[in-house]
Amino acid sequence: MEMAVVPDVCASGDGPTLTFQNLHYVIRERTSPCTRSREEKDILKNVSGILKTGMNAIMGPTGSGKTSLLDVIAGRKDPRGLRGGQVLVDGQQVTSELRLSSAYVVQDDILMGTLTVKESLLFSANLRLSRKLHSDHAKKERVESIIRELGLQDCANTKIGTEFLRGVSGGERKRCSIGMELITAPSLLFLDEPTTGLDSNTANSIMALLHRLSRSGKTIIFSIHQPRYSIFRLFDHLTLMHKGEVVYAGPTSKTMDYFQSLGYECEPFNNPADFFLDITNGEAKPQSKPDTEEKSLAAHYQESSFYHDITKELSSVIGPAGSLSRVTRLQQSYATSFFYQLQVVCWRTLLNIVRNPQTSYAQLALQVFFALLVGLIYFQIPHTLPEALQNRVGAFFFLVINMVFGNLSAVELFINERALFVHENSGGYYRTSVYFLSKMFIDLIPNRIIPIFVFSSISYYMMGLKPAFTAFLLFSLTMSMVSLAAVSLAFLVSASVSSFAMANILIALPFVFMMVFGGFLVNLNAMLSWLSWLQWVSVFRYGLQAVTINEMRNQVFTSNFTFLTGEMYMDQQGIDYSLWGFWQNQVALLGIMSVCMTLAYIQLRRINRWK
C-alpha cells in the first residue's frame, strides 16, 4: 500500500532539534499490598532519538512508554526515576531560558471553566509575556492573532464551561489549550495525546492545525495512540514504542518499507497506523520471513540502518551518554513580577467566584437562613433565670458550631483546582505564593467575612443580646475569627490530600474533638489531666469563651428575689472575664489560623508536580 507523504521541508526556517540518548527511566512499585518493600520497574530502556523541525509522532499501544518518553524529554517526569541519559536542544543543555521557548499541552484540557476563550488567552498573555517587552495593547493584539490563527472567532466570548455551565465544544477547548501555550510563540511544542476524547473530524482538524504550525518552523512533538490515516499521513517523523523500547524511529514515509523488509505485509485498505500497532502487539505475523519472530522488534531495529544513522549523528552532536543533571528539574523563572501576578490571579479568582453562584451567593443565602433560624429559636432571650443563662449558653454553642461546620465547603478549594494549579504553576504562569494569597484575599473576604457580618447583624439583634454597638462589633469579630480559624484548618486539609473522601474524614475528626473539648459538653476543670491539653487547640473553646465574656460582663440576671451576675457565672466556669481574658481568646484564634495557613502554604509547595 502506497502512502501519501507530506514534504518534510518547512516554509519558514528550521525549529530546534531535540536529541536524547540512552534514556533509562524506572518507577518503584510495591511487591505486594501487605509489604512496604518496593522494586523498580523499567519504563524506558535506553531510548535514543533525534527529533527535528516538523511533526514528530511518538506512537505505540497502551503501556508502551510513549507518554513517559514525551514527559521525560519535556522535563515533566520525576527526575528521581532516571537512571541514565541526557536531553539536549540544538546540542545545548536545557536551561531556564531555553525552557521558556518551549510549551507543553496536557492530555486533559485544564482550563478555568468560568472564563471565556478570550479571557483565558489573555490570562496566559498577561502572565507569560514580559511587561517590559509587551504592552497591554500588544498582548491584546497577540490574543486576537491567536484566535484568528486557531479559528476561534465564533466562540471567543463564550465561556469554557463547567459541570454547571454549558460552554465550548471539545475541539474548541483543545484549541484554546493549544492557544494558551502558543501565546509565548514557542519554537518547541509538546502535546500529550492531542486527539484523546475528540471525534474523528475534530481530531483531524486539530492535527491539521498542528501541521500548519509545524510548517511555520516549529518542532512539534506529540504522543498519539491510534490515529486515522488522514492524520497519520501528516507525520514527518515516527517513533514507534513497545514495552519501553523503540522498535522504529525514522521518516514516516519509510516505515512501511522497513516492516515489509522484516516480512510483514499490510493488507489492502488497512490503516498503516493500525497495522504498525498490530505488529507491536504481536497480532500481525511475518509472512515471508518466519525467522523474524526469533528476535524482538527492538533488536531488529538496533540492527537497522535507521538506528546506526541516529547513533552516528548522536555521537557527533552530544558525544557519549551524559550525566543525569541534564534532565533534572530547573529552577522556575517567571516573565512577570510578583505583584503583577497577584493582581492578575486575584482578578481571575474574583471572576470565578462571581460566575459561580453555588460558591458565593449560596454561601450568603445559607448564612441568612441560619441567622433567621437562630434568631427565631432564641428570639429576645429574657434576663430572668434560668432561661437567661440556659438560652444564652445554648445559643452561643449553636453559633460556634454553625461558624465551624458551616465552612466545611472550604475543604474543596484546593482539591477542585489542584490539577489547574499544578499545570499553571509548572508552566511558569505564577508563583505558588501568588496562588495562595489570591485565595486568601479573594476567597476569605467575600465568601467568609461578608456573609458572617450579615449573619451576625441578623442573629444578634433578633436574640436580644447586649444592645451596645461595641458589643455587637466584638461579637461579629469573634464569629469572624472562629470562622477563619475553621477555614484555615480546612485549607490545610485541602492542600494536603487530593480526594474529597479523605478530606472529609481528616476535617471532621479534629472538628469533633474540638467540639467535645470546647467547654460546653465537658467541664474543662474536671477533665482527665492527660486529655486536658486538647482544650488549648480547640476553636470551640476560644470562640465560646470570647462570646460569653462579651455578653455576660456587666449583666445581671434575676429570679424572684435572687439575682446572678454574669461575672459570678463566669467564675463558676473558670473563665477569665478581664479585658485581657477576652483578647487572649482572639489571639489564640489568630494563632491557630496563622499556623494552619502557614502549613497549608507549605503543603501547596510540596504538592507533587511530576507525572
How many CA atoms lie within 13 Å of 75's alpha carbon, on the beta-carbon side?
26
Determine the average pLDDT of the residues in 582-593. Answer: 93
- 9 is a domain residue: no
Residue whose grid cell is 511555520: 216
Radius of gyration, CA atoms only, the chain: 32
Shared domain for 536 and 595, answered yes or no, is: yes
Distance of CA 538 to the CA centre of its chain: 31
Helix axes 539-552, 469-496, angle to 10 degrees: 180
Question: Over 60: is that where the pLDDT of 323 sits?
Answer: no
Question: Over 70: is that where the pLDDT of 393 sits?
Answer: yes
Q: DSSP letters along 461-521, please?
A: HHHT----HHHHHHHHHHHHHHHHHHHHHHHHHHHH-S-HHHHHHHHHHHHHHHHHTTSSS
Calpha distance 400→406 (Å, rounded): 10
pTM (predicted TM-score): 0.85
Determine the pLDDT at residue 518. Answer: 67
Shared domain for 156 and 31, answered yes or no, is: no
- 533 is a domain residue: yes
Name the β-bridge partners of 87: 20
> Do 245 and 202 touch, CB atoms closer than 8 A?
no
Domain that holds residue 484: 338-606
Least confident of 77-86, 152-161, 532-541, 569-578: 532-541
Question: Over 70: is that where the pLDDT of 163 sits?
Answer: yes
Question: Over 60: is that where the pLDDT of 96 sits?
Answer: no
Q: Angle CA(8)–CA(203)–CA(231) in degrees, nearest 5?
A: 30
Q: Is 38 left (phi over 0), alpha (psi -120 to 50) or beta?
A: beta
Shared domain for 441 and 547, answered yes or no, is: yes
Shared domain for 76 and 153, answered yes or no, is: no
Q: How far is CA 421 from CA 127, 260, 300, 424, 576, in A?
A: 14, 47, 44, 5, 45
Q: Which of 40, 57, 44 is nearest to 6 (CA)?
A: 57
Shared domain for 539 and 480, answered yes or no, is: yes
Calpha distance 441→462 (Å, rounded): 31
Specify the CATH number for the domain of residue 87. 3.40.50.300
How many CA atoms lie within 13 Å of 180's alpha carbon, on the beta-carbon side?
29
Determine the average pLDDT of the residues in 511-533. Answer: 67
DSSP character for 442? Answer: I
Take residue 109 and report the three cell numbers written for it.
Answer: 484540557
Shared domain for 305 and 452, answered yes or no, is: no
Determine the pLDDT at residue 143. Answer: 94
Decide which of 320, 352, 381 is a domain's last residue: 320
Q: Angle CA(123)–CA(128)–CA(132) in degrees, nearest 5?
A: 110
Decide which of 292, 320, 348 is a domain's last residue: 320
Cis-peptide, bond into residue 268, ω within 30° of zero = no
Query: What band does 40 get if pLDDT is binned at 50, 70 and 90?
Result: confident
Determine the pLDDT at residue 34. Answer: 59
Question: Over 60: is that where the pLDDT of 294 sits?
Answer: yes
Decide which of 157, 180, 203 is a domain's last residue: 180
Cα torsion 303, 305, 308, 310: sign? negative
Shared domain for 496 and 363, answered yes or no, is: yes
Q: DSSP letters along 152-208, please?
A: -GGGTTSB---SSS----HHHHHHHHHHHHHTT--SEEEEESTTTT--HHHHHHHHH
- 4 is a domain residue: no
Determine the pLDDT at residue 471. Answer: 93
**How many CB atoms are closer than 10 A to CB 332?**
15
How many CA atoms lie within 13 Å of 334's alpha carbon, on the beta-carbon side?
19
> Do 76 and 610 touch, CB atoms closer than 8 A?
yes
- 110 is a domain residue: no
Shared domain for 275 and 378, answered yes or no, is: no
Name the β-bridge partners of 28: 40
Determine the pLDDT at residue 326. Answer: 43
Number of domain units in the chain: 3
Residue whose grid cell is 502549613: 599
Query: What band does 10 get if pLDDT is binned at 50, 70 and 90?
Result: very low
Mean pLDDT of the chain: 85
Shared domain for 144 and 245, answered yes or no, is: no
Calpha distance 128→558 (Å, rounded): 69
Shared domain for 457 and 569, answered yes or no, is: yes
- 502 is a domain residue: yes
Shared domain for 416 and 476, answered yes or no, is: yes
Shared domain for 541 and 566, answered yes or no, is: yes
Calpha distance 42→81 (Å, rounded): 9
Question: Over 50: is that where the pLDDT of 2 sits?
Answer: no
Determine the pLDDT at residue 98. Answer: 59
- 222 is a domain residue: yes
- 270 is a domain residue: yes
Q: How far is CA 525 from CA 349, 545, 574, in A?
A: 46, 14, 8
Query: What band does 325 get if pLDDT is binned at 50, 70 and 90?
Result: very low
- 293 is a domain residue: yes
Question: Over 80: is that where the pLDDT of 94 sits?
Answer: no
Least confident of 43-47, 111-115, 286-290: 286-290
Determine the pLDDT at residue 330. Answer: 47
Calpha distance 12→7 (Å, rounded): 14
